[in-house]
Amino acid sequence: MDMSNAMCSKYVRGLEEELGARLLNRTTRQLNLTEVGSEYHRRVIDILTDIEDAEQNVSEMQQQPTGTLRILAPPSFG
């Protein structure tokens, strides 16, 4: 994501403060999601998937013509 580890940690800490919950268990050698962090991640992924589906649906609706087509022609044409 072109982001340093320090910047990423800062954003995660800010999110944890905003939510009032610890999302990661930190040790000197590893990071693990907490139960709350795992649930939050699952819900966010679901939301992002819904947004992508909605965007694709709108895009598809714009590509296909819909509605009534009316053609005006003189009676002699028929």
Structure tokens at 54: 């909605």
What does the block give as tokens for 46? 């679901």
Q: What's the 3-state SS for the chain?
A: CCCCHHHHHHHHHHHHHHHCCCCEEECCCCEEECHHHHHHHHHHHHHHHHHHHHHHHHHHHHHCCCCCCCCCCCHHHC
pLDDT digits (tens, 9 = 90+) for 16-66: 999 999 999 999 899 899 999 999 999 999 999 999 999 999 988 888 777
pTM here is 0.69
pLDDT of residue 69: 87
Mean pLDDT of 1-18: 92
CATH number corresponding to 5-59: 1.10.10
Q: State yes or no: pLDDT of 78 exceeds 80.
A: no
- What is the longest distance spanned by two Cα atoms in the chain? 87
Is residue 1 predicted with pLDDT exceeding 80? no
